[in-house]
Structure 1
């Protein structure tokens, strides 16, 4: 019987061994190169990241204003729906009262034998009593006819209220769907911006954030750091500002009190703001009700030219009118810039100016 033995392996030697070792080392080196190149992405220049992040923040602000508009419309539709439902409940209560009254009349007629009032009057032997009862019956008939008319009007009104409520409910659901779409868009843009910023070194991110709270230009000196520019900005930040009227002064004073508070998209205060939320709150403190969004605020007053600017005016930026600030004089404004950049004083030249409006 043959024995089953494992075939003997003979180690390579001499030239063959050296060749095998060389191939193994080359293979390992190649694998390392390919593995490294598959995972290491080239880091873009900081200026390129800054430009992309700025674009994403601007797009997020556009979506934020659309979110604000959808939220405002949803709130209005919800309030209108609540009012319609309250009115329908009141009219239904009146209808039930009218129906109860008609039921009492029908019950009385049944108990009296169901005779027509005229027949019952004709059987009355006393002429005076006949005339008196005839007058009463006529009035009772008029009241009954009026009650029937009221019932019909209430039924018609309730039907109209229900139809309007259905329409408002459809509008509300549409606005809420738009609200969710814009919220998703904002979060996506901000998420992309955070991902890009994470590709910068800690030093580069610090420089970007410093620029965002200063001049807004990565790697450039803050123009306000010059003695004159810094002094002008500091004097406008919290000091008294000469405004054209009391309300404008109150709006500016309120905005000065919000300096340093964080930006939060969709926020209207008091602890955080987005750009239009800040201007709306500032003018509300002055007794003026502004609409919610940038592209409705620009039509809330009289349009003025850049040369006419005075403290309290609203200044708007970008072609889509997606950003707004409160002018405080000296070419400066107070605004809520973007996530990570708190409410601050900034030059109106740091963004593309598209118009201004005077309110109050």
Structure 2
């Protein structure tokens, strides 16, 4: 007769280990599920990248403004320093003349107190002593007056130079900050794009290229004419740059940001306009009605004026849109229109 034995019950230790292992497996699985990021859709990534590029353009205009300010300050500082050098030379010449006068008096019998005062370090202090001026000849008084005036002017120029140099340092710091912010935003956009598959990235590139091609070949600009000859020339120049890439801080001739494109176009017409979109917003006569816009007018977009293009006619603008895109035509209704500017 076969022996029937009941299975040996699992030990408490073994049950505990198995239970702990199962619990750990569940916990790890749960954590992995939480840690694994949800795969973003192509549409979601494109929307995020577009938003980042829009933010980048705002900072780019600040960068352009800081660059323009830096160039002006550098020129002003150079001019002031040249003036300081010139006035220092004139002051040295006046003091030499005064020294010659003192030497002549010494040779003729010694330097009196009035001439000694002429040679003092602070001629203004001497001039305040009106009673002593009576002891001076008119020639001596004139020499002292000139020295005092020149010294005041020189001190003022030096103070102005110091102020401008500090402002220049602050502007350079602002430039560095703007560049760093732009680079961080572009790096973020690149990281998002790199999270896509090669096929998805190719799809975005093909879509952008196709849109640009359609815009260039099928756009109907109507038959309206520019309000001025310079506006017509600026628009004509801008059309030759269709397809040129957007690059932050660039102002041509091979790449552009938005205000770099418009300032370059007008420069080809012999007209100098400010470098940034915010400044260009005040560069001419504002046109608030879209129906009154003429080809070549500047068109300002967004409430903070951070984007600008050229009105091309029939509700279309020619502009440098954003990073990743090129100079192209686009409907004026695609962006929040503020007003036009007639140069």
Compute the TM-score of the two structures, normalised by the length of structure 1. Answer: 0.76
Between Structure 1 and Structure 2, whose CA radius of gyration is higher? 1
**Counterpart selection for 2:308 from 324, 336, 352:** 324
**Are 1:101 and 2:114 an aligned pair?**
no
- Counterpart pick for 1:180 among 171, 176, 179: 176
Quote the residue 1:198 is aligned against: 194
Correspondence 1:82-231 to 2 at 5 A: 82-114=78-110, 141-213=137-209, 215=211, 225=214, 231=217
Q: Aligned pair 1:354/2:328, yes or no? A: no
Which of 214, 231, 245 pairs up with 1:262? 245
Partners of 1:115 and 1:209 in 2: how far apart? 88
Aligned residues of 1:64 and 1:266 also touching (Cα < 8 A)? yes
TM-score, normalising length: structure 2: 0.79
Report the Cα distance in structure 2 between the residues aligned to 1:297 and 1:210, rounded to whole angstroms. 33
1:283 maps to: 266
Is residue 224–residue 294 contact of structure 2 (8 Å, CA) maintained in 1? no
**Distance between the aligned counterparts of 2:217 and 2:171, measured in 1?**
47
Inter-partner Cα distance in structure 2 for 1:258 and 1:231 = 14
CA RMSD in angstroms comes to 3.1
Correspondence 1:345 to 2:339: no
1:272 to 252, 255, 273: 255
**Residue 335 (str. 1) matches residue 319 (str. 2):** yes
Deviation string 1:222-245 (CA, Å, 9 cap, x unpaired) is 8x84xxx76542x76xxx984333
Deviation at 1:33, TM superposition (A): 4.3
SS at the partner of 1:243? coil
Is the aligned partner of 1:60 residue 2:56? yes
CA distance in 1, matches of 2:146, 2:330: 64
Aligned length: 310
CA deviation profile, 1:183-239 (whole Å, cap 9, x unmatched): 222122212111112222223223333444555xxxxxx8x84xxx76542x76xxx
Matched, 1:311 2:295: yes
Paired position in structure 1 for 2:4:
none
Would the alpha carbon gap of residues 177 and 299 (structure 1) be closer, same or farther in structure 2, given more than 3 Å must change?
A: same
Stretches of structure 1 lacking an aligned partner (at least 5 in a row): 1-13, 117-139, 216-221
Moved more, 63-72 or 140-149: 140-149
Q: Judging changes above 3 Å, is the alpha-carbon distance between structure 1 residues 174 and 194 closer, same or farther for their aligned structure 2 residues?
A: same
* Alignment of structure 1 residues 233-248 onto 2, 5 Å: 233=219, 242-248=225-231
Q: How far off is 1:150 after superposition? A: 1.2
Q: Is the 8 A contact 2:216 2:328 kept in 1?
A: no
Deviation at 1:114, TM superposition (A): 2.4
Equivalent residues of 2:102, 2:111 under 8 A apart:
no
Alpha-carbon displacement from aligned partner over 1:30-55 (angstroms, at most 9, x marks no partner)? 69846854663211222222221111
Distance in 1 (alpha carbons) for counterparts of 2:111 and 2:31 = 105
Deviation (angstroms), 1:330: 2.5
Please state how far the C-alpha of 1:141 moved relative to its aligned partner: 4.0
Aligned equivalent of 2:126:
none
